[in-house]
Amino acid sequence: MGGIEIRELEAFLVLAEELHFGRAGERLYVSQSRVSQLLRALEGRIGAPLVERTSRRVRLTSLGESFADSLRPAYDGLRATLDEARAAARAEMGGVLRIGFQGTVDDYLAQAIALFEEECPGCVLELTEIPLSDPFGPVRRQEVDCAVVLLPVREEHLVLGPVFSRQPQTLAVSARHPFAARKSVSAEELADCRLIGVGAGGAPGPAPAYWRLAQAPDRTPELRPIPAGPLVNTLQEGLSLAAADRGAMLLCRSTADYHGRRSSIAFVPVDGLPPSELGLIWHRSHVPPTALAFARAVKGVTPGR
């Protein structure tokens, strides 16, 4: 295929059906900026535009229409062949890998999942969302084999594998909040808003204090106190409270991009805070070979690692 990646073809076909970058991203479990990136790469390989984009609409070019019509049966046939091969390999090899994740499946994690499934077709991969308030508990209790969690991780019983998705931090605020119209805010200005924290049922929950403070600090870099807001168990709870102007919530940029189409919330970049990072963790006494294979997949899609 001249170097064309199947993910680019998949993104184009989904976009051809939806004619909307946001909805295409939701179906593919990636941000709309990632859909644009995949489309640009495909158009660069072909040498001509496949999609016309304006502020009002998205439509296929004449070349895009004919390409989509020709591509669809070939793509469906290829996917059917892959599915048959994976089913046969799964029947022969067996195995399940349970992966926990917090919040959303970002681009790096989606790419790692795709690479793992290509390299380990006989393994069934199960994704489980784990609560913000208990990032390490599911691994400790062996409810999942490994988990992608927000850093830092300082637990003696856990192994920190590849670190990835280093992202600038953003602040989710109500569209009515004074910060909503700002292009950015400084870390010192966090002293002027209530930060939504991590907890369960109004209590801190099982997450260690150092981890909770990393997600919702109580001091600015210059040690000004930051007012504490409500505690939430999940990302969706936090976004709902931010939309209702009950507080502001710190998020990485990729999560903000994923939820950026919500009109009730503004996502404002924060200057002067350490970036957000994700890490893959597993238990020292429970290390399935498939977890190590997934760690290699994560490394394989992480630039510069």
* pLDDT for the residue 49: 94
Residues of the chain with pLDDT under 70: 1-4, 85-94, 201-203, 260-261, 303-305
Angle between helices 21-28 and 32-46 (to 10 degrees): 100
Largest CA distance in the chain: 61
Angle between helices 107-119 and 289-301 (to 10 degrees): 130
Q: Enumerate the β-bridge partners of residue 197.
A: 231
Q: What is the pTM of this model?
A: 0.66
For residue 148 the two structure tokens come to 């992608």
* pLDDT for the residue 88: 61
36 and 2 Cβ atoms separated by less than 8 Å: no
* pLDDT for the residue 1: 45
Closest CA relative to residue 21, chosen from 253, 258, 204, 234: 258
How far is Cα 261 from Cα 55, in angstroms, rounded to an integer? 14
* pLDDT for the residue 146: 95
* pLDDT for the residue 120: 85
* pLDDT for the residue 201: 64
